[in-house]
């Protein structure tokens, strides 16, 4: 009995869908950060390339000012120019990054809208449960990830800062255009390395988050049994199951029509397809039957495969009512069916045993 209560089973599709409706989805912040950083890097490089001449003209103008040019009007004009350039850059940078954040969430778990996480829940402020969560394995993993990311980011940042300090005395002697080229080169290298580091952490975090998510949704055997019983008792679920079963049965039946020897019709309301394989079956077998539209579909497929269609209203109605699909015809129909098959085989130059 205890085994039935242990959560050892993988979550069912219904359990996952219910969790999704409640806003409980696997979301990796590191993966979202990776996607945002990737878009941010591409956007930044594109902006630096597109606006490099604008930056160069602005800085060149500022550096060429002498003391006589420094007055209130020039300071206001320069400030407005700087504000304009950096405002345009900031807006063009922020829009793609914001869109990237939305897309990152969409790629992880699709579109979802729910207010359930915003609703007050007394369990969230339970001090005993909160203390347990504080020392949980999940929190330990989170702490380890944060520590590792902090050391890695600090190490990478310190390395590039040291390189920057080492090269700066030489770079300041370069012309302004070369200084900007050097700065762009450094930005590209830093963006690439940070993107690589973030990609490693993002992929690892995504795998960990998904693993933790599905572990949190694991079910006991009893829960699976209860869910199955509840679903079976739902009239809508039952209706859906019956519809699916009927559709599968019809598709399977229609696929058997090309193997039939003859289709006996009403001729418009009933159609019954018969097959007589002397090597496998002792007597003819009904492979498909239908009324109205289904009867029309049977005749249509039969015509497409050059199968004889024989009008015989009494026999068609009787076979439809008395014999199910994939069943042999009863004794009382032997004579009538034999006459139909004899006619068909005569037309096709075949012999009947």
DSSP string, 258-323: GG-SEEEE-SSSEEEEEE--TTT-SS-EEEEEEETHHHHHHHHHHHHTT-EEEE-HHHHHHHHHH-
Confidence of residue 165 (pLDDT cuts 50, 70, 90): confident
Task: Check residue 319 and give its pLDDT.
Answer: 92
133-160: per-residue pLDDT in tens? 555 666 677 777 778 877 887 888 788 8
Residue-averaged pLDDT of the chain = 78
Give residue 326's region: left, alpha or beta (phi > 0; psi -120 to 50): left
262-292: per-residue pLDDT in tens? 999 987 789 999 998 888 888 999 999 999 8
Beta carbons of 214 and 11 less than 8 angstroms apart: yes
Token code pair at residue 82: 């700087």
- Whole-prediction pTM value? 0.45
More reliable by pLDDT, 201 or 22: 201
Q: Within 13 Å, how many C-alpha atoms sit on residue 217's CB side?
A: 20
100-126: per-residue pLDDT in tens? 777 776 766 665 655 555 555 555 555
Task: Check residue 126 and give its pLDDT.
Answer: 52
Task: Check residue 222 and give its pLDDT.
Answer: 81
**Is the pLDDT at 247 greater than 90, yes or no?**
no
Task: Check residue 70 and give its pLDDT.
Answer: 59
Instruction: Report the alpha-carbon distance of residue 124 to residue 129 in Å, rounded.
Output: 8
Q: Can you list the domains of the chain with their CATH numbers?
A: 10-223 (no CATH), 253-347 (3.40.1690.10)
Pairing of the two strands 219-220 and 270-275: unpaired
Beta carbons of 31 and 108 less than 8 angstroms apart: yes
Task: Check residue 300 and give its pLDDT.
Answer: 92
Which helix (H) or strand (E) segment holds residue 7: the answer is: strand 7-9
Confidence of residue 127 (pLDDT cuts 50, 70, 90): low
296-341: per-residue pLDDT in tens? 999 999 999 999 999 999 999 999 999 998 899 998 999 999 999 9
Instruction: Report the alpha-carbon distance of residue 193 to residue 160 in Å, rounded.
Output: 10
Instruction: Report the alpha-carbon distance of residue 186 to residue 193 in Å, rounded.
Output: 11
Which helix (H) or strand (E) segment holds residue 219: the answer is: strand 219-220
Instruction: Report the alpha-carbon distance of residue 136 to residue 185 in Å, rounded.
Output: 44
Task: Check residue 118 and give its pLDDT.
Answer: 52
**Is the pLDDT at 16 greater than 90, yes or no?**
no
Q: How far is CA 299 from the centre of its chain?
A: 40
More reliable by pLDDT, 258 or 102: 258
Instruction: Report the alpha-carbon distance of residue 23 to residue 118 in Å, rounded.
Output: 10
Token code pair at residue 65: 């000012």
Secondary structure letter of residue 220 according to DSSP: E
Short-list 82, 65, 208, 58, CA closest to 143: 208
Give residue 267's region: left, alpha or beta (phi > 0; psi -120 to 50): alpha
36-91: per-residue pLDDT in tens? 778 887 887 787 777 777 777 776 766 666 655 556 676 777 778 778 777 877 88
């Amino acid at each position: 009995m205890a085994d039935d209560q242990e959560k050892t089973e993988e979550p069912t599709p219904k359990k996952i869908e219910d969790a999704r409706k409640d806003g409980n989805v696997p979301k990796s912040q590191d993966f979202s950060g990776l996607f945002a950083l990737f878009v941010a890097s591409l956007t930044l490089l594109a902006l630096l390339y597109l606006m490099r001449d604008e930056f160069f003209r602005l800085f060149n103008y500022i550096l060429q000012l002498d003391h006589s040019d420094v007055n209130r009007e020039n300071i206001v004009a320069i400030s407005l120019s700087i504000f304009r350039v950096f405002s345009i850059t900031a807006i063009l940078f922020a829009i793609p990054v914001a869109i990237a954040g939305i897309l990152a969430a969409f790629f992880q778990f699709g579109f979802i809208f729910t207010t359930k996480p915003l609703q007050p829940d007394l369990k969230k402020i339970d001090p005993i449960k909160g203390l347990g969560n504080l020392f949980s394995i999940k929190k330990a993993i989170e702490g380890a990830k944060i520590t590792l990311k902090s050391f890695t980011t600090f190490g990478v940042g310190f390395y590039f800062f040291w390189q920057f300090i080492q090269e700066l005395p030489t770079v300041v002697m370069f012309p302004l255009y070369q200084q900007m080229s050097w700065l762009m080169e450094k930005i590209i290298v830093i963006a690439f390395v940070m993107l690589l580091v973030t990609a490693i952490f993002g992929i690892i975090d995504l795998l960990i988050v998904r693993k933790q998510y599905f572990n949190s949704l694991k079910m006991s055997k009893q829960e699976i049994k209860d869910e199955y019983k509840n679903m079976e008792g739902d009239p809508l679920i039952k209706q859906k199951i019956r519809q699916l079963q009927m559709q599968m049965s019809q598709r399977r039946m229609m696929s058997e029509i090309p193997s039939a020897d003859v289709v006996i019709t009403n001729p418009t309301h009933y159609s019954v397809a018969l097959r007589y394989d002397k090597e496998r079956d002792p007597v003819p077998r009904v492979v498909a039957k239908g009324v109205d539209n289904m009867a029309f579909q049977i005749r249509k497929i039969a015509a497409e495969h050059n199968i004889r269609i024989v009008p015989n209203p009494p026999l068609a109605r009787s076979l439809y009512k008395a014999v199910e699909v994939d069943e042999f015809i009863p004794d009382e129909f032997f004579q009538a069916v034999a006459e139909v098959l004899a006619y068909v085989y005569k037309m096709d130059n075949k012999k009947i045993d």
